[in-house]
Amino acid sequence: MIPKGFLFSTAEAAIKKPGRKDLALIYSETEADMAGAFTTNRVKAAPVKLDIRKIKSGKGQAIVINSGNANACTGEKGLKDSGDMARFVSDALKIKSSLVYVCSTGVIGAPMPMHRIKAKIPALAANLGESSLEDVAAAMMTTDTYPKIVKKRVRAGNKTGVIAGICKGAGMISPRMATMLCFILTDFAVDRKTMDRTLIDAVNRSFNRITIDGDMSTNDTVLMMANGALGNRAISERSSLYPVFNKALHEVLYALSELIVKDGEGATKFIEIEVRGAGSKADAEKAAFAVANSNLVKTAMYGNDANWGRIMAALGYSGAIVREDKTDIYLGKVRIAHKGAATGTEKEATRALKKKDIRIMIDLHIGGHSAKVLTCDLTEDYIRVNADYRT
């Protein structure tokens, strides 16, 4: 199940090391409407800078992706290399270079092995259609342990369109563009302004609500292509189809964000943190992220330690308005703290922490605002993966 009018290709360029496909191409048979979201890190990789300029046109036809090298902090040479990658692809496909987007992920600060990449691009273009979307998802992995793919069918009258998403990410994950690459493809025609607004809203409710280690990447990119191959009238926010399309897009991005957290480097547990009763939306988010990013909370979850004091401490330094004597904390369905004091339910709470999926609910009892953040536990394997990342 893939959207109509898209073709895929992968190749091995030995960008970091040989033995795996590390170069991929997504191609729409017709020019597509494009929308995007990018890292808010002030240090941006060369391909991100390139794509931010290109996305202003709202048009695109191809995305070339490499893993193993981020092409970040590589100066003018890095910018030239990204531009050259787009040009090599556009020449091979005989399309405008402005329609080719470039995405890279991997080691920061290392020059791109352009001679190896250039040598593979003609075959990459010639072999379009011989690889699957799953192959592309696998080719762009770095420390991921599995490809991340979500697809949804959406009925449009007597037609059925598809929204398909792939992403990569397992470490250096932090909010305000969670650190990753993500590509959303659909054969629906979508009004460009509508697609821009809908994608940003979906990103804010998914990828901007996850954290693994509190680190923000230089390469975060979400690109969405809508090629209109279904033949529908372009969806706008006034269309009768819009609520269904909007819901499906949000579900695809949220499911992808869950896959990233579940594949967190070294993670053994998936953790949903919900803060209720905050005085403002901003306070709810501050409190939830403070708990989610606390290494003490995350290691406690790994060790099945119902140490709710660590959660209370994180709430206190979060910057949100918090009243200790009003705060309730739940681990699973067990209320382990009531009005800032222990409830004597530690044994029951410890049993709840032995599950793979854990829910922490915090009620501040101050106002009517809430927020959810997804995270994972912190284990010895996270240190091992990142200590060995460049070797």
Question: Among candidates 301, 229, 239, 221, which has minimal Cα distance to 264?
Answer: 301
Residue 340 CB burial class (10 angstroms; 0-12, 13-18, ≥19) = middle
Give the helix/strand (H/E) hosting 50: helix 46-54
CB 376 within 8 A of CB 261: yes
221's CB contacts (< 8 A; 6+ apart) are 36, 37, 38, 39, 47, 48, 51, 103, 180, 181, 182
Annotated catalytic residue, options 10, 74, 105, 179: 179
First to last CA, the chain: 37
Written as six digits, the tokens of 43 are: 């240090």
CB 107 within 8 A of CB 386: no
Q: Note if 10 is an active site residue.
A: no
C-alpha pair distances (Å), 19 with each of 12, 16, 139: 7, 10, 11
Q: Give residue 197's Cα distance to chain centre.
A: 17
Query: How far apart (Å, rounded) are the C-alpha atoms in residues 371 and 39?
Result: 22
Residue 274 CB burial class (10 angstroms; 0-12, 13-18, ≥19) = middle
CB 65 within 8 A of CB 140: yes
C-alpha pair distances (Å), 191 with each of 218, 221, 237: 29, 21, 9
Q: Residue 218 has what DSSP assignment?
A: S
Residue 163 phi/psi, 5° resolution?
Answer: -115, 120
Maximum CA extent, the chain: 70
- What are the catalytic residues? 179
